Amino acid sequence: MINNLNHELKVESTKNERSRQEFVAALRSHVLGDMASHMRDRYHSRYGAETKATSGTDVHEAMQSDPYFRYYSAVRYNAQEMVFRSVVPTIDRNHDKLNATAATISSKTNSQANIDPDLAIPRSVSEIDVHLAPGSYHTEYAENDVAAGAIYDNSINVFAFNQMGRNMDDIGHTISNYLRLSYPDFSPERILDCGCTVGHNTLPWKQTFPDAEVTGVDVSAPIVRYGASRAGSMGIDVNFMQMNATSLDFPDNHFDVVFSSMFLHELPLKDIHAYMAEAFRVLRPGGVLLTMELPPNESLGPYEQFYLDWDCYYNNEPFYKAFRDQNYRELCSRAGFDTDAFFEFEAPRYTYMSEAEFIKELNAEKRLDDSTGTLTDDLRWFGFGCWKQS
């Protein structure tokens, strides 16, 4: 049984809607588990030796006419559509009530998002329905609307089939605790999360560093409105602002940590460069850029490259592969960071084990493979970062 949302913005599904959500979550688990593993074995036994593939593109070419790849892709694509089809009717039916509840919570808990009505929505969001989300991230259907936030929150709950934490917040807990445990003398006062969506991975920073001021920014008004209200409902004090991370409205040297998760792979390369330069600018000397992402293609074998790049070709995430083809150290260097202070890491899921186990796994030998960044039981998150030298 999949998670429930643990806050007051939860919309009540009918029994049938709930069954449909459970079904879609199970279908995704099946295609990313059983079917993905059959497909990998099939590739290695049938094509691996003879194709002499050196890149994910070579593997993609070899697999494109394979019947199993076709069924895998068709089922996975349909399952992604069905994620949204399983949650939108519930939200649509409860839309007025949802917006009213969000407004009440925000005013009661003093957790209003800071909205910028003049902000131009980047075309990478407005021109395509990113990862097949109807209306993409930003569409507003009513005044002070939060529906896009609810769609995101509810759909990721089905999408993740319990692999991303109780509040879909494991990435935030894992990366913030990685920082706390790896650098015990570092005590951040101001933390920024860029492309934060509904803040599911922003709130854990406040939980890990309770004395810090934590801010999340995103280009979508309905998403940050929902995020602020969700945080208010959960009693966690975080600022939400509608802002484009490629042009941050903060002074130089302001933050101790600039974080993002699953964000860069949705951006065109020029926006990635602009974001990295802004992150460098707003970080104080001695502060740290921390980026949770999918691992770079250069660190993976051809099959694993192909496997992760599926989303670029078939999930309306057109910038995904171009980002993963970059050298992450060079991205930092180009933005002004001294790459002697560059680091990358893998971490197991913090909320799925004891802290002692987490520390033990952190210190284990690094092993990037096909369970890095993919939703399997021994999932580990990948990250990279760079200190801004004093």
Nearest to other proteins of 22, 213 (CB atom): 22
In the list 13, 25, 29, 73, the residue contacting other proteins (rule: CB under 8 A) is: 73
Burial pattern 306-339, b for ≥16 Cβ within 10 A else e, equals: bbbbbbbeeebbebbbebbbbebbebbebbebee
308 binds other proteins (CB under 8 A): no
Nearest to other proteins of 159, 387 (CB atom): 159
| Minimum separation from the CB atom of position 140 to other proteins (A) | 10
CB neighbour class for 65 (10 Å; exposed up to 12, middle 13-18, buried from 19): exposed
Tell me the two tokens of residue 86: 């399983």
Distance CA 291, CA 267 (A): 14
**Cβ neighbours for 337, distance < 8 A, ≥ 6 positions apart:** 280, 289, 386, 387, 388
Query: Which stretch in 45-53, 86-94, 171-179, 250-258 sits in contact with other proteins by CB under 8 A?
Result: 86-94
1 binds other proteins (CB under 8 A): no
158 binds other proteins (CB under 8 A): no
H or E element at residue 344: strand 342-348
Query: Which stretch in 43-51, 183-191, 263-271, 345-353 sits in contact with other proteins by CB under 8 A?
Result: 263-271
H or E element at residue 147: helix 147-159
Could you say which residues in the range 89-148 bind other proteins, by CB under 8 A? 89, 91-92, 95-96, 123-124, 127-129, 132-135, 141-142, 147
Tell me the two tokens of residue 226: 């929902």
In the list 62, 79, 223, 241, the residue contacting other proteins (rule: CB under 8 A) is: 79
318 binds other proteins (CB under 8 A): yes
Total interface residues for other proteins by CB under 8 A: 57
In the list 38, 44, 52, 70, the residue contacting other proteins (rule: CB under 8 A) is: 70
Query: Which stretch in 46-54, 281-289, 312-320, 355-363 sits in contact with other proteins by CB under 8 A?
Result: 312-320
Query: Which stretch in 201-209, 323-331, 347-355, 372-380 sits in contact with other proteins by CB under 8 A?
Result: 323-331
Could you say which residues in the range 231-260 bind other proteins, by CB under 8 A? none
Distance CA 19, CA 232 (A): 29
Residue with tokens 């409860």: 94
- Compose the 180-219 pattern: x for residues touching other proteins by CB under 8 A, - for all others: ----------------------------------------
Could you say which residues in the range 343-372 bind other proteins, by CB under 8 A? none
| Minimum separation from the CB atom of position 128 to other proteins (A) | 6
| Minimum separation from the CB atom of position 92 to other proteins (A) | 5
Concatenating the DSSP letter of every residue in 292-325 gives EEPPPGGGS-HHHHHHHHHHHHHSS-TTHHHHHT
Nearest to other proteins of 4, 253 (CB atom): 4
Nearest to other proteins of 299, 326 (CB atom): 326
Distance CA 337, CA 333 (A): 5
16 binds other proteins (CB under 8 A): yes
| Minimum separation from the CB atom of position 221 to other proteins (A) | 16
Nearest to 154 by CA among 73, 230, 74, 261: 230
R_g of the chain, CA atoms, integer Å: 20
Tell me the two tokens of residue 138: 């930003």
Distance CA 191, CA 203 (A): 11
> HEC states along 22-43?
HHHHHHHHHHHHHHHHHHHHHH
Nearest to other proteins of 181, 322 (CB atom): 322
Tell me the two tokens of residue 142: 């009513």
Which residues of this chain interact with other proteins, rule CB under 8 A?
15-16, 19-20, 22-24, 27, 57, 65, 69-71, 73-75, 77-79, 81-82, 84-86, 88-89, 91-92, 95-96, 123-124, 127-129, 132-135, 141-142, 147, 151, 268-270, 312-314, 316, 318-319, 321-323, 325-326
